[in-house]
Structure 1
Amino acid sequence: MSDVQEFEFDLMIALPAGERDEDAMLDALFEAGCDDAVVGTGAAGIVALGFIREGSDAEAVIAEAVGQALKGLPEGATLREVRPDLVSLADVAARLQVSRQALQKREMPPPSLGGLYRVTEMVRYLEGQPGKIRDGVSKAAPWFAAAPAAQKINAQLGLSD
């Protein structure tokens, strides 16, 4: 059995069309076991749930959170994306608490899609960097740890469409 570690990830879930009572939805998410989620409802038709959860396997941890979230959301809600997967340099810089320019000065992997980078590739380039960047990688370890599972789940979502 693997060691228990923290995983930090976000679930982007599409909601079915129609009126919704946000307070009732928040209560239902809480009752379904998502009492530890940071919930964002700013985008029409999408609810974002941010988690930091512990476990020995990121994919299992994320799958459990997805199951709980879908149980608490209206029927017809669907998982659209798990983050982190594709990110901008600004996203990574914010996690590392450095400037985007500090990352631009370093060797980086080639972008994967529209100027976005795969977190799983970024971490390999960042781990060997000196000082503040290396310290930031350590602090953001739960986010980086969730990335391979997020990438795999997103690939499966894409194939099932």
Structure 2
Amino acid sequence: MEYIFTMKYQLAEHDDPDALVERLGESGCDDALVGIGQPGRLALEFTREADNAWAAMRSALVDVKRAIPSARLIEAAPDFVGLTDVAEVVGVSRQNMRKLMLAHPGSFPAPIHEGGGSIWHLAEVLTWLEAKGGYSLERSVLEVSRVALQVNVAKEAHWLPTKAARELNALVG
């Protein structure tokens, strides 16, 4: 199956973006569109064939690490989204998504950030919509969003000592 996802990286100061593109191709990332518009950043939009979303994203992470060992993952996407992003994925209007959120305050997933622009994990909203029924969701998008969420959580977990992680999991779970 084909999976589409994006990996965003922070580069080391000495990394030459033009040389990196060639190294990425040699390491197996020839299925990625490369974005180097922002200084010190690299975005790779993969269209990768694999048996499942985990295998696709894992192999991309390995390939990038082999090509650019100094690169630091910023974000795996699709994961962090606003209502407009969710609406686009589902094929409905933003107003429709907002109505759903307001009509189901007890069951609609809570945002991970509230404010002028609230942010959700795409996997949580798509899982909720799938359970609700009546929406045409691409299986690959749901799978990739779940793996992207796991990658992003794992990336941030290094901040917590193991004992603190266990205690916090018991408190927030």
Indicate the residue corresponding to 1:39 in structure 2: 34
Which of these two proteins has the greater Rg computed from alpha carbons? 2
CA deviation digits over 1:77-101, x for unaligned, max 9? 1222211222111211222333211
- The question of 1:80 aligning with 2:78 is answered no
Alignment-derived partner of residue 18 in structure 1: 14
- Structure 1 equivalent of residue 5 of structure 2: 9
* Alignment of 1:149 onto 2:144: no
Gaps of 5+ in 1: none
Instruction: Tell me the secondary structure at the aligned position of residue 105 of structure 1.
Output: helix
SS at match of 1:106: helix
Q: String of CA shifts for 1:47-68, please: whole Å, max 9, x gaps.
A: 1111122323322321210111
1:71 maps to 2:74: no
Does structure 1 retain, via aligned residues, the 8 Å contact 2:127–2:142? Answer: no
Cα offset for 1:37? Answer: 0.5
Match of 1:110 in 2: 110
Offset of residue 124 of structure 1: 2.3
> What's the TM-score once normalised by structure 1's chain length?
0.80
Q: Which has the higher contact order (CA 8 A, sep 6+)?
A: 1
Partner of 1:62, secondary structure, is helix
Q: Could you report, residue by residue, the CA deviation over 1:114-154 in whole angstroms, capped at 9, with x for unpaired residues? A: 41111221112322454xxx23x23xx32221122211121
- Gapped runs of 5+ residues in structure 2? 102-107, 160-173
For 2:78, the aligned partner's letter is P
CA distance in 2 between partners of 1:97 and 1:45 (Å) = 34
- 2:53, 2:140 within 8 Å by CA — same for their partners in 1? no
- Deviation string 1:28-48 (CA, Å, 9 cap, x unpaired) is 211111111011112221111
> Percent identity over the alignment?
31
For the pair 1:160 / 2:163, whether they are aligned, the reply is: no
* Equivalent in 119, 123, 126 of residue 123 of structure 1: 126
User: Over the residues paired in the alignment, what is the CA RMSD in angstroms?
Assistant: 2.0
User: 2: CA distance between counterparts of 1:24 and 1:17?
Assistant: 13
In 1, Cα distance between equivalents of 2:76 and 2:15: 25
